[in-house]
Structure 1
Amino acid sequence: MQIVSLSFFRFDAPLSRLWALAMMGAGRIDMARIPGIGFWKLCGSGTGEGFTPVPNTTVYAILATWPDAQTAKDRIAGTRLFQRYRHRADEHWTLYLTPISARGAWSARTPFDPQDDPRTGPIAALTRATIRPRTALSFWGRVPDISEVIGTDPNVLFKIGIGEVPLMHQITFSIWPDSGSMAQFARRDGPHARAIQAVRSGDWFREELYARFRLHSEEGAWDGLSPRILKDTAA
């Protein structure tokens, strides 16, 4: 069963931040050579709630797909590239996710292999889009309102905006206590719903992907939110 890993790293020291920025390019060769890895992306993040075009130079992420959970954990624990990230980072957190739905494409590929999952409980949502240059200003003009709404939503357990290329690529990742609370946020009238309508009517995206996941397991810690997320929501 496919497992998707999403690893976050926080770098506080200036030299560590420079190293992480350089690895956005230099790390590609090593990533491609990891045995068993499938689709992967090296990502930066945004400031504030994360959903902004202004880079956050302290936080970086690595997303990867693996054939199973044991392979994912073995490679992330034992591969030199991931070890170097953990050694330099002041904080790190890896989520292991099981895809349960996916539609769309990412870099002209369909990276996630959804599985039937009747379970209830915490659910993660990932959206990824390539923004058309002619619509970039319109898109980013709506983002601050969306960021404020999701930042104040009492249901969201974790949220961050990441991306491969500033301004042109946007990935949003969030964790919710259940599918109902996530759907309520997505569908209710407000900045998010109006932005979706504008995206559809204005053809803002050249490529887009929407995926949902169950939380399989996790390692590390992040702002006190983990490992509390799985423990609290499982109660």
Structure 2
Amino acid sequence: MTASPIVTLSFFRFSGLGARLWALGMMGGARMPLARVPDIGFWKLCGSGTGEGFTPLPNTGVYAILATWPNEATARRRLSETAIFRRYRDRAAEDWTVFLATRSVRGRWSGKTPFAAASLSSGGPLAALTRATIKPRIALKFWSRVPNISRMIGSDPKVAFKIGIGEVPLMHQVTFSIWPDADSMADFARANGPHADAIRAVRAGSWFSEELYARFAILGDSGTWGGTSPLANMETHV
């Protein structure tokens, strides 16, 4: 399947030892079922770090599945009806999916450019996703900077949702955040502090062997996270 502008990112929260062990095992066990889902394109299974994910310590209670689809209707139907996604929802204490259309993308993920930008208006809420493969010799240096960045983004009242996930602990990092508009996100990225310092260090030291940056328009969501839709958080900050 060619790259698709429709992207879903589904988060699942598991409680209890049995459910957590099941979810951990599915990091390997879900690969074949996901590959066989009709209409699915690029997909990734991801774990998370403790807290909101921005730590190297794994969180056995939160996992995510990213996938691309030919259109939103197909995405919603497959997520609702396909057995592997139903199994995740049945085991999870809570789940939330956000539906996205790609505004811009640069870089590669596992050697591919998995998202295709659509013709979209530039206004409105947006999501930002970054994905990097961290060079092994840089891993400790990279992760030493992450807590300060996490505190900085956590204190920004404009960010509606944020999480750190990844395919392989320590070596792969995906950050995902939702903002009310492009200006809010740009203000955070440009502000002096640990985030700007880290960006300069990454560029100067060539910390990543592969990286991807994408921006998405938000089409909608389903489910809850923390008892509500994270998209509702934007209404109080706009």
Q: Does the alignment reach a TM-score above 0.5?
A: yes
Amino acid at match of 2:35: A
Shift of 1:118: 1.4
Structure 1 residue 4 and structure 2 residue 7: aligned? yes
Shift of 1:48: 1.8
Give structure 2 stretches of 5+ with no counterpart.
none
Counterpart in the other structure of 2:25? 22
Match of 2:55 among 52, 58, 66: 52
Kindly report the root-mean-square deviation, in angstroms, between the aligned alpha carbons of the 2 structures: 1.6
| Residues in 2 aligned to 1:231 and 1:154: alpha-carbon distance in whole angstroms | 9
Aligned residues: 235
Counterpart in the other structure of 1:198? 201
TM-score of the pair, normalised by structure 2: 0.95
| Residues in 2 aligned to 1:230 and 1:163: alpha-carbon distance in whole angstroms | 24
Give structure 1 stretches of 5+ with no counterpart.
none
**Aligned runs of 1:119-130 on 2, under 5 Å?**
119-130=122-133
CA deviations on 1:98-125 (whole Å, 9 max, x unpaired) are 0000000000000000112114221100
Identity of aligned residues (%): 63
CA contact (8 A) 1:218 1:227 kept: no
Shift of 1:2: 2.6
Shift of 1:49: 2.7
Structure 1 residue 161 and structure 2 residue 161: aligned? no
Q: 1:233 to 1:210 in 2, by over 3 A?
A: farther
| Residues in 2 aligned to 1:97 and 1:225: alpha-carbon distance in whole angstroms | 19
Ranges of 4+ aligned residues in structure 1 off by more than 4 Å: none
| Residues in 1 aligned to 2:191 and 2:58: alpha-carbon distance in whole angstroms | 29
Structure 1 residue 68 and structure 2 residue 64: aligned? no
| Residues in 1 aligned to 2:128 and 2:54: alpha-carbon distance in whole angstroms | 14
Give the match's secondary structure for 1:117.
coil
CA contact (8 A) 1:219 1:227 kept: no
